[in-house]
Amino acid sequence: MIPIAKKRKNGEGTLRLRKDGRWEGRIVVGYNEKSLPITKCVTAKTKTECSTKLEALKEQYGRSSDRIKADMPFGDWIDFWYQTYCRHTLRITTRTDYDNRIYNHIIPEIGKIPLNRLSQSDLQQFYAKEKTDGRKLHAKTYGKGLSDRTIRGIHANCRTALQRAVQEGLIRTNPAVGCKLPPKKAREMQVLTQNEILRFLHQAKEEGYYELFLLELGTGMRRGEILALKWSDLNFKTGELHIERQVYIIRAEIIISAPKTKASIRTVILPPSLLKTLAVYKETVDSEWMFPSPTDNGRPRNPSSVRKRLQLILARAGCKKVRFHDLRHTFATMALEHGMDVKTLSATIGHVSSATTFDIYSHITDTMQRQTAVHIDRKIGKTDAQMPVEEQTPEATAKPPVNAPCAPTEPHPEPIPRKIRKSGTGCLYQINDNIWEGSFFPRLPGGKRKKFNVYAETRDQCEIKLAEMIAQKKAEIAQEKAKLKEGAN
């Protein structure tokens, strides 16, 4: 009978007999930036000797028995759990959230409590304190307490780390199990009406964002996906648009990466009218990116600046305030109402499964099912059943704001003209939520142009700095021209 090798526990390393007759022991000591394991190994003539060397290697690089024990501080354990089992498996955006929760909230508050003495009461009091007075930044803007979503995220980190401690035999039970948490609330989904879409697109054309938002309302892409599009992703002959990357912001830096899931890598077919619009727009863009940054056409647009521009366009068009993600909901709602099946919609917008689409748009699919039942009743039952009518929300029946540029019944509303800066006053750009950039691009006495920049936290501060800088540079250029003129004479 062939003996079956005993499976070693996670973190214990591996032992194997090499082809040259020697034994090799190997452990994983970390992971590189590509999430690939970094290993260390030892070799010996016998299995016993190799096992001894492996234990010494684990003491040096792996789970040191002096450090990993039941009465160690919980802060040390959750740090070890995160760095060893978790960090290398996360995307950089998720990793930032984990770093914030673990090192800014969990460890400072309950990190000193011994692992085997941490109780459910300790965790419950910790969550309550964070809910009322846990915010470290922007407390004046958002209040002193953390959001329900952040509290649930903190709990998830604690629970998973403690469950690993149970598996390792450090504690008997998980004290995080059974904690009372804030209710999980789905963010309210808002959808633009047909008339609001008309007003919105007319205003977007005036602002120079028409093609971006028209493509969004025609495909339902995520913000990061649409900003990461290149012209090479679109086949104008077949209408196929390949979505295979996304853009996001980490510490004010634009990062380009592959989508989060395989389902997000997809191909959608654009209608001929949208293709024609994009073909005309392409003639005005000198970049490989479909929607390049206005300050650097070698990079995509900043997602934060697009969000700010969206709110400005909505306000000027007299539409209700919605998120960029609500434009995705608007597309999905229109698609379902016009007969697209849920399976096709799920593939189009990049959901992992149709079940996700059903959960998000259950109110639409429920209405469709009731309407289908009425159609069947009319055809088969020969009845005069009435088609169900959705309840009108206050938003749907509300009158347009007083400052709206047009009434909601006008088919072709007039957009509000955008302000054009005078020549010689420079340009202003919003880089992210906290940074504005002012730029001045004058022609120097030698004939060449040079760009000068200033930065500030608000638009008003940036305007002041920009005006001061322009006055200074104009004076310097005038002096330089005067010197050159004197030298020529």
Q: What is the rounded average pLDDT of the residues 384-407?
A: 44
Report pLDDT for 222. Answer: 94
Q: Which of 64-68, 124-128, 185-189, 228-232 has the lowest mean pLDDT?
A: 64-68
The CB density around residue 343, as the number of other CB atoms within 10 Å, is: 11
Which token pair is 142?
């958002």
Mean pLDDT of 456-478: 89
pLDDT of residue 62: 53
pLDDT digits (tens, 9 = 90+) for 97-110: 999 999 999 999 99
Q: Is the pLDDT of residue 140 over 60?
A: yes
3-state DSSP percent of the chain in helix, strand and coil, to 5? 50, 15, 40
Look at residue 321 and tell me whether its pLDDT is greater than 60: yes
pTM of the model: 0.63
pLDDT in tens, 280-294: 999 988 899 999 988
**CATH pick for 74-167 out of 1.10.150, 1.10.530, 2.60.40, 1.10.10:** 1.10.150
| Nearest alpha carbon to residue 418 among 263, 209, 125 | 209
For residue range 44-84, list pLDDT tens digits in order: 999 999 988 888 887 777 554 456 889 999 999 999 899 88
Average pLDDT, integer, range 374-393:
55
Helices marked H in 175-294: 194-207, 210-219, 223-227, 272-282
Q: Give the model's pLDDT for residue 36.
A: 64
In sequence order, what are the residues at sequence separation of 6 or more whose Cβ sits closer than 8 angstroms to the Cβ of residue 105? Answer: 130, 134, 136, 146, 154
3-state secondary structure 114-146: EHHHCCHHHHHHHHHHHHHHCCCCCHHHHCCCC
Residue with more model confidence, 150 or 9: 150
CATH class of 194-360: mainly alpha
Average pLDDT of the chain, as a whole number: 82
pLDDT for residue 270: 94
Give the mean pLDDT of 354-366. 76
Strand 427-432 relative to strand 435-440: parallel, antiparallel, unpaired? antiparallel
The residue type found at 404 is A
Q: How far is CA 244 from the centre of its chain?
A: 15
Residue 368 — very low, low, confident or very high, per pLDDT cuts 50/70/90? low
Cα dist from 369 to 189, 191, 377, 392, whole Å: 21, 20, 12, 19
pLDDT at residue 408 is higher than 70? no
With a pLDDT cut of 90, the percent of the chain lying above it is 41
What is the side-by-side order of every strand in the sheet holding 427-432? 427-432, 435-440, 452-456
Whole-angstrom Cα distance, residue 23 to residue 283? 66
Residue 387's pLDDT band, with cuts at 50, 70 and 90, is low
Please check the confidence at residue 263 and state whether its pLDDT lies above 80: yes
pLDDT for res 489: 66
